[in-house]
Amino acid sequence: MAKPKIAIFDFACCEGCQLQIVNLEEEILSLLGVADVVEWREAMSEKSDEYDIAIIEGSITRMEDEERIKRIRGCAKVLIALGACAATGGVNKLKNNFEDFEEVKKCVYGKAAGKPHLRTGVTKAVGEVVQVDYCVPGCPIDAKEFTYIVRSLLLGKTPEIPEYPVCVECKANGNPCLWQYDQVCLGPIIRAGCGARCPSSGFRCFGCRGYVDKPNVEAARDVINRYGLSVDDLKTKMVLFGSRQEPTIYE
Amino acid sequence: MTVKKLTKSDFASLVEDLIRTENVIGVQAKGDRFDFAPLASAADLRLDYDVTLQPPKKYFLPPAEVLLTFEVGGPYQSQLDGQKFILLGVHPYDMIAINQMDELFRQDNCDTHYLTRRNHATIVACDVVRPSGHVFASSMGTAVVKQGYDVLLTDVGDSYVVEAATPKGEQLLARAQNAVPAEPQALKRREDVWARNKKALNHYELKCDPAYLPKVLAKSYKHPVWEEKAKTCFSCGSCNQVCPTCYCFNVQDDVNWDLTTGQRIREWDGCLLDGFTKVAPAHEFRKARADRFRHRLYRKATYVPQKIGGQIACVGCGRCVGACLPDIANPVSIYNRLIDDLGIG
Amino acid sequence: MCECCAQKKDIYLPQLATVADISQMNVTEKYLRLAMDDGPFDYIPGQFVEVSIAGIGEAPITISSSPTQGDSFELVIRKIGRVSGAIHNLQRGDKVGIRGPLGQGIYPVEESRGKNLVFICGGIGMVPQRSFIKYVLDNRGDYGDVAILQGTKSYDLRLFTAEIEAWGKRGDVQMIETLDEGDARWKGPVGVVTKLVSKVETDLKSALILVCGPPIMYKFVLMALAEHDVPHQNIFLNLERKMKCGVGKCGHCQINHAYVCMSGPVFRYSDLASLPEAI
């Protein structure tokens, strides 16, 4: 059987998720033993239009990007959204909180805001433009989860991505709840799979992996009241990765 | 059974001696909390702890473990962990939880993975010195323990009363230099500690004898409390993850990069989690949060007791109380509410 | 140390079996005949096995053949998940892992001798029922009247069509099949299987009723049986759940206090009074 062909593409992102793949080092060689990487700008110069699995990093922010992602989708048998920007829109969706993008650009780029390559539109997750078969959530992705997903797909198996929240992994790691240390941790409503990396290092969960399927809004409301917080307090903690994503607890 | 007395400094020497030759796990500070972890020095051992973040369960049923390895087309191979270790500082309620788990993993179909680890453990239990802020072991009858351990330590001031209850325990105690037979006065002080703990580990007080709980629950299946509490349940499974008697698990395969060899992995699961009973997208059986919430409380006080001779499978450690962010997990407040409403206090 | 630990006997260790036969039954179902590499095992109707596909995982599948059928055993698998999907890709000669037989499989094999039997099957509910049906037909003299009711969603999803036709022609079995949706190719009754209950020619009150189908079906079948005053202890329901470990540990298949993998998957209806989560 011929080795499946993998192509990796980037859109609006910091390329940090690809860096996680580059950082796999020895495991990359193992991956290359069972699959051919035919296009990967960050690591090689070849280009190709023939691939079985397309891995997409970044979100879609311009019309020409929409056309490009549609073209890629047309070539790929399986399309994977890699990282928060691709899977949910991620940090890029912060922009969608504002109505006047010209203002946003001035704020970010200053005098250069008018340059043509900085044209920008509403941020979309990849799945809002084309059909996504699998998501690797996270900012950045968890390398262990990424390799598990790739191996599963090469085996023809649907990978099992947790439906449960970060608390499960956090408690299994033997952490105390960060709320008891005055941190507004989003763990109870955010999808696990990262091994509760942030709370295990003492940082609250920022919510980079997106919400679980059925977050309990009622419970979140109860907890912020209990801790004497306002809806706005919580909103400021959710805005980084939770902008313009359903469900939100403040609507 | 040998009962001896050992000064605290002689006990520290014993621990240092054990660390030199054995794999020793003991209770240590973790930030301003405590947890079990591999012990590097006797000075790190904190037998004055209130409660550990995780129960010692993880040394017998790890959060993730390889059950089997395989090669496509070939036979499966069992992977059993037969490494000897000493577990230092298990509180009575946790020891009772281990005793319950031993029975659950032994009965009907014996789980060799759990029991191999268990057989290779030497457990040094210790009576509680400092009650935790959520403990209710006195209510559950689990504040002192009479069996299961290899050695039991009781802090009687400047020294420990050390009881070796098994050949493994005797062997361990034989390494203690300067251990002297425990004199009646020391034994009396140990009795006093037990008498004190039987009352003092009771931050929450259950309004009935725990043996009566199955009868309470038999009348409470449709009580509104399940719906009321579950309304603010995140279904995050924190109560399951910190519980010394929760043992539900999931099993998954993963392959190596050759895509032909791999391992079957067992991981902790939780009955509170969304999707726990899902067999297919259309068939999920305990779908409502309230039903899952009720299931945990019934498991502790009705379902599991039926399997272990009536013992209530909540040992009153209070970990779930501390781990539950919306503060709905406290079994005592739920059971008391039912007792009150049934008018059978 | 207990005996099993001393012998390192592992309840989670699958034994190898070889695919002796595999074929597509309809769009969603695959038929599989397996032979254990280390020799056959004894089983009773209603028991299940855990089937392992290395790297993919394990899934519980009720045995569809009768122990009277010889050394190999048969499974019928609908493609719904990871493992069942992988089973569909197997070929003759391939190896799978098997644990089992598991469960009590308490179809009332002994109790039913001399009694009248009514099998009510919805969709792939026929698959587990077939084990006991074939057992009964292979020992036909030991039983009274036998009626088999089969309801299937649509013509193309029908299973065991040749067998069902042969059962209908035996003369000693009342075989009625219905389709939920009518079809130009179908000459038989149209409507849900519960409608067939009143057509059973044997006395329902004294018969043993064996039911297996999708979870939604039970409520309606039980209502239909209640109209005929069938005593609850005469009704047997196959309540399959997520039997992940199959050996009474993992907790996924629990219905209240009962572990389906240990005390089921077949339950007597009168025993379900203490299991409100069952139906």
Chains with ≥3 CB–CB distances under 8 Å to A: B, C
Would you state the structure tokens that stand for residue C69, as one six-digit string? 């059928």
Do A26 and A145 have their domain in common?
yes
Residue A249 placed within a domain = no
Q: A183-187, B128-132, B274-278, B314-318 — which is least confidently predicted? A: B274-278
Do A180 and A226 have their domain in common?
yes
Sheet (strand B77-78) strand order: B77-78, B64-71, B261-268, B249-255
Residue A72 placed within a domain = yes
Residues in A 26-55 with any Cβ partner in B closer than 8 A? 27, 30-31, 33-34
Mutate to test the interface with B, among C1, C5, C36 (most CBs of B within 10 A): C5
What pairs with residue B86 in β-bridges? B24, B122
Residues in B 252-271 with any Cβ partner in C closer than 8 A? 252-255, 259-260, 262, 264, 266, 269, 271
| Burial class, B3, CB count within 10 angstroms (exposed 0-12 / middle 13-18 / buried 19+) | middle
Q: Which of B109, B125, B98 is nearest to B247 (CA)?
A: B98
CB contacts < 8 A (B, C): 132
Residues in C 195-224 with any Cβ partner in B closer than 8 A? 214-215
Do A29 and A120 have their domain in common?
yes
Domain segments of chain B as ranges? 2-200, 210-342
Residues of C in contact with B71 (CB under 8 A): 54
Say how many Å lie between the first and final Cα of chain C, rounded.
41
C236 by DSSP, 3-state: which? strand
Residue A160 placed within a domain = no
Mutate to test the interface with A, among C82, C83, C252 (most CBs of A within 10 A): C82
Model pLDDT for residues A95-131, shown as the tens digit of each residue? 888 888 888 889 889 989 888 888 888 999 999 999 9
Do A109 and A223 have their domain in common?
no
Counts for chain A of helices (H) and strands (E), in that order: 10, 5
Check: CB of residue C63 under 8 Å from CB of residue C37: no
Residue A187 placed within a domain = yes
Residue B117 to residue B121: CA distance in whole angstroms: 6
Chain A: residue whose CA lies nearest to C80? A158
Q: Which CATH architecture has domain C3-102?
A: Beta Barrel (2.40)
In order along its 279 residues, chain C shows pLDDT tens digits of 667 777 778 999 999 999 999 999 998 999 999 999 999 999 999 999 999 999 999 999 999 999 998 899 999 999 988 999 999 999 999 999 999 999 987 677 778 889 999 999 999 999 999 999 999 999 999 999 999 999 999 999 999 999 999 999 999 999 999 999 989 999 999 999 999 999 999 999 999 999 999 988 999 999 999 999 999 999 999 998 899 999 999 999 999 999 999 998 999 999 998 899 998
CATH 3.40.50.80 range(s) for chain C read 117-274
Q: DSSP letter for B341, please.
A: H
Q: Is C86 on the interface with A (CB under 8 A)?
A: yes
B47 φ/ψ angles, rounded to the nearest 5 degrees:
-75, 0
Residue A161 placed within a domain = no
Q: Is B133 on the interface with A (CB under 8 A)?
A: no
Mutate to test the interface with B, among C256, C260, C262, C275 (most CBs of B within 10 A): C256
Residues with Cβ within 8 Å of residue C268, at least 6 apart in sequence: C106, C108, C232, C233, C235, C236
Q: Is B71 on the interface with C (CB under 8 A)?
A: yes
What beta strand segments (E) does B168-246 contain?
Answer: 180-181
Chain A: residue whose CA lies nearest to C84? A157
Query: Among A155, A188, A207, which residue terminates a domain?
Result: A155
Model pLDDT for residues C227-268, shown as the tens digit of each residue? 999 999 999 999 988 999 999 999 999 999 999 999 989 999
b/e code B12-49 from CB counts within 10 Å (16+ = b): ebbbeebbeeeebbbbbebeebbbbbebeebeebbbeb
Do A171 and A58 have their domain in common?
no
Q: Helix crossing, A217-226 with A231-242: angle to 10°?
A: 130
CATH 2.40.30.10 range(s) for chain C read 3-102
Residue C53 to residue C16: CA distance in whole angstroms: 10
Chains with ≥3 CB–CB distances under 8 Å to B: A, C
Q: Which domain holds residue A65?
A: 5-155
Do A47 and A109 have their domain in common?
yes
Chains with ≥3 CB–CB distances under 8 Å to C: A, B
Q: Indicate the number of domains in chain A.
A: 2
Model pLDDT for residues B324-338, shown as the tens digit of each residue? 999 999 999 999 999
Right CATH number for C117-274 from 3.40.190.10, 3.40.50.80, 3.40.190.290, 3.40.50.300? 3.40.50.80
Interface predicted TM-score of the whole assembly (ipTM), two decimals = 0.94
Mutate to test the interface with B, among C2, C3, C9, C10 (most CBs of B within 10 A): C10
Do A122 and A52 have their domain in common?
yes
Closest-CA distance, A148 to chain B, in angstroms, reads: 7
Q: Which residue has the tokens 């009694």?
A: C115
Do A141 and A191 have their domain in common?
no
- A33 and B54 in contact by Cβ < 8 A? no
